[in-house]
Amino acid sequence: MSDKPPQIVLIRPAPAEAALHLSPALLAVASPILLLLGWEAVVRLEWLDSRFFPAPSDVLVALWQMLLAGVLLEHSFWTVQRVLIGFVLGAVPGALLGLVMGLSPWIRAFLKPAIAAVYPIPKVALLPLIMMIFGLGEPSKWVIVGIAVFFQLLLSTLAGVLNIDRIYLDVARNLNATRLQAYASVALPGALPTIFAGCQLGLGMALIVVVIAENFGTSAGLGYLVWRSWQVFEVTDMYVGLMMIALLGYLFQLAMGWLERRLLRWKPAATAMKGTP
């Protein structure tokens, strides 16, 4: 025994948390705004060469003018259209094949090596081949986007189905579910959270691919805007294109997050939050 007097350990309410009343939504907006402000400052102070890094305010002015002229919406419209058509073309068969491979060990064993071999090829490297087959027009853009999205959805759906607790399939089997019923009531809903994750990745991939594809055989689309601005050294326009692409990506994520919250009401809120931007 020491001869120090006994100490009292106090456990009390945490200091008022109200002081830190920042909502996550507010914090989420703060980082892009701070980035833009910092950028603006650095250019105004001439620490950065404004020929390569025009100030955000200049980019916004250019963006506003292009918006008023209607050009920007037209470019955006073409890009969105290509992304959406390509996405549906790739996502639907990708998810379906993922479900089938997930539930059938035989089909999985048969197809997996082929997919593992093709998957690592950068999809953009297939573009010349696809333009040879489908021509320079719209179909080649849909197809290249479709291929990129297909693999993303296939792999995430497959992972999702394989991740479903076996017991749910046992229940379906024990209650004499047909194969189709097992797909509809167990495999699809059980894999839906990962399918959504795949959709998020797939949309990002679709934007990357479409921007590159729009360098060829078109005079519309945000990718075209960026490439043409590069050729004629209109750096500000190039940034307008980049900003619109970023904005589109963000809007796609928002839409996905909204859809996910509607369809995954069965997920506890904490895990559903992960998917939201």
Partner 1 sequence: MRSEPKIAIQGVSRSFGAVAALARVDIAIAPGEFVCIVGPSGCGKTTLLRILAGLETPSTGQVAITREDSARPLNTMIFQESSIFPWMTVRQNVGYGLRLRGIRAAEIAERIAPLLELTGLARFADAFPYQLSGGMKQRVSVARAFANDPELLLMDEPFAALDEQNKALLQEELLRLWSATRKTVVFITHSIDEALVLGDRVLVMSARPGRIKADIDVPFPRPRSVVELKQDPDYVRLNHDIWLLLRDEVRPAA
Amino acid at 164: I
* Smallest distance from partner 1 to CB 88, Å: 24
What are the Cα distances from residue 199, in Å, to 144, 184, 267?
16, 19, 18
CB atoms within 10 A of CB 25: 8
CA distance 43 to 45: 5
* Residue 119 near residue 155 (C-beta atoms within 8 A): yes
In this structure, what token pair is assigned to residue 157? 């759906």
Backbone φ and ψ for 5, nearest 5 degrees, come out as -70, 150
> Binding of partner 1 at residue 274 (CB under 8 A)?
no
Among 81, 104, 185, 253, the residue binding partner 1 under the rule CB under 8 A is: 185
Among 108, 228, 261, 267, the residue binding partner 1 under the rule CB under 8 A is: 267
Nearest CB to partner 1, comparing residues 124 and 264: 264
Among 47, 52, 106, 266, the residue binding partner 1 under the rule CB under 8 A is: 266
> Binding of partner 1 at residue 261 (CB under 8 A)?
no
* Smallest distance from partner 1 to CB 184, Å: 10
CA distance 148 to 152: 7
* Smallest distance from partner 1 to CB 174, Å: 5
> Binding of partner 1 at residue 105 (CB under 8 A)?
no
What is the pattern of x (binds partner 1, CB under 8 A) and - over residues 44-83? ----------------------------------------
User: In the chain, count of helices (H) and strands (E)?
Assistant: 12, 0
Nearest CB to partner 1, comparing residues 115 and 171: 171
* Residue 147 near residue 123 (C-beta atoms within 8 A): yes
Nearest CB to partner 1, comparing residues 19 and 167: 167
Nearest CB to partner 1, comparing residues 31 and 178: 178
DSSP single-letter state for residue 124: G
Amino acid at 220: A
Nearest CB to partner 1, comparing residues 21 and 166: 166
> Binding of partner 1 at residue 181 (CB under 8 A)?
yes
Question: Measuring CA to CA, which residue among 173, 164, 183 is closest to residue 99?
Answer: 183
> Binding of partner 1 at residue 189 (CB under 8 A)?
yes
Among 177, 212, 220, 242, the residue binding partner 1 under the rule CB under 8 A is: 177
* Smallest distance from partner 1 to CB 199, Å: 17
Among 147, 187, 192, 238, the residue binding partner 1 under the rule CB under 8 A is: 192
All residues at 6 or more sequence positions from 252 whose CB lies less than 8 Å from its CB, including other chains? 83, 203, 207
All residues at 6 or more sequence positions from 95 whose CB lies less than 8 Å from its CB, including other chains? 153, 154, 157, 195, 198
* Smallest distance from partner 1 to CB 177, Å: 5
Element (H, E) at 166: helix 166-174
Under rule CB under 8 A, which residues in 137-176 are in contact with partner 1? 167-168, 170-176
Binding residues for partner 1, per CB under 8 A?
167-168, 170-178, 181, 185-186, 189-190, 192, 265-268
